[in-house]
Amino acid sequence: MLAIALESPSGQQCPQTTWNPIMPKLLYASTSPYSSKVRMAALYAGIAVDLVPVKTEDKPAELISVNPLGKIPVLVLDDGRSVHDSRAITQHLNRLSKNALFPRNPDKRLEAEVLEALADGICDCALSMVYERRTRPDTMVYQPWLDRQWAKITAALDFLNATPPKLPKKITAGQMALRATLGYLALRFGGQWEKGRGRLVRWAARFDEKFPELKGCVPG
């Protein structure tokens, strides 16, 4: 099975396999933090996937046929079944890789799953803000809604900044989710989330230093 590397807009590379009719396909977008997490997880677990970029706003038939919600990422298995959303995909990849993404220990596994959920929750709020501004005329943007979402984001970031997750030699999908989240915030809210959260800024830099092979999967 051959592999190539695609260059991301940031100049980093995230390996992508060549097309193979029996290889699972991942429908994704390079700016999506959920897609970023899943791409990191597949790469870290050593599971080859065929990356298929899609634009959700175009509602492509290839996407709608495998996820009627029209959301990404979607993992299309070699038998035609589809797996979505991103947390269902990381769990599936974990089973395939015999626990490469989540610890076997119940307490440590729960910790990783909660971290993944918290990171995804931050992204939910951030995306809600992006779409509020993107889909409404300026005169109709509802500022109290934006303020409410930003308050949730900052509360979660302050919580994480107080005690950043450890970065051991073997990481989990939880740490990958957080790195993808911080990458998305840097992309959409750069210069706004970092102030007073130096520990998280340094945490992201250390993540990239320790796992350079995953850096190209960060949203960009």
pLDDT of residue 16: 52
Of 179, 185, 166, nearest to 208 by C-alpha is: 179
Q: What is the mean pLDDT of residues 213-217?
A: 97
Name the band, by pLDDT with cuts 50, 70 and 90, for residue 216.
very high
For residue 5 the two structure tokens come to 């590397």
Same domain? For 21 and 121 the reply is no
- Mean pLDDT value across the chain: 92
Residue 41 lies in a domain: yes
Same domain? For 76 and 112 the reply is no
pLDDT in tens, 106-136: 999 999 999 999 999 999 999 999 999 999 9
Same domain? For 113 and 211 the reply is yes
Counted domains in the chain: 2
For residue 21 the two structure tokens come to 């009719």
pLDDT of residue 57: 93
Residue 220 lies in a domain: no
pLDDT of residue 111: 98
Range of the domain at 207: 106-215
- pLDDT: which is higher, 23 or 73: 73
Same domain? For 208 and 164 the reply is yes
* From 12-26, 95-109, 167-181, the region with the lowest mean pLDDT: 12-26
> What pTM did the predictor assign?
0.89
SS (H, E, C) the chain: CCEEEEECCCCCEEEEECCCCCCCEEEECCCCHHHHHHHHHHHHHCCCCEEEECCHHHCCHHHHCCCCCCCCCEEECCCCCEECCHHHHHHHHHHHCCCCCCCCCHHHHHHHHHHHHHHHHHHHHHHHHHHHHHHCCHHHCCHHHHHHHHHHHHHHHHHHHHCCCCCCCCCCHHHHHHHHHHHHHHHHHCCCCCCCCHHHHHHHHHHHHHCHHHHCCCCC
* From 9-18, 22-31, 92-101, the region with the lowest mean pLDDT: 9-18
Please check the confidence at residue 150 and state whether its pLDDT lies above 90. Answer: yes
What is the rounded CA–CA span in Å between residue 41 and residue 22? 20
pLDDT of residue 7: 39
CATH code for position 163: 1.20.1050.10
39 close to 45: Cβ distance less than 8 angstroms: no
Please check the confidence at residue 18 and state whether its pLDDT lies above 80. Answer: no
Residue 101 lies in a domain: no
Please check the confidence at residue 19 and state whether its pLDDT lies above 60. Answer: no
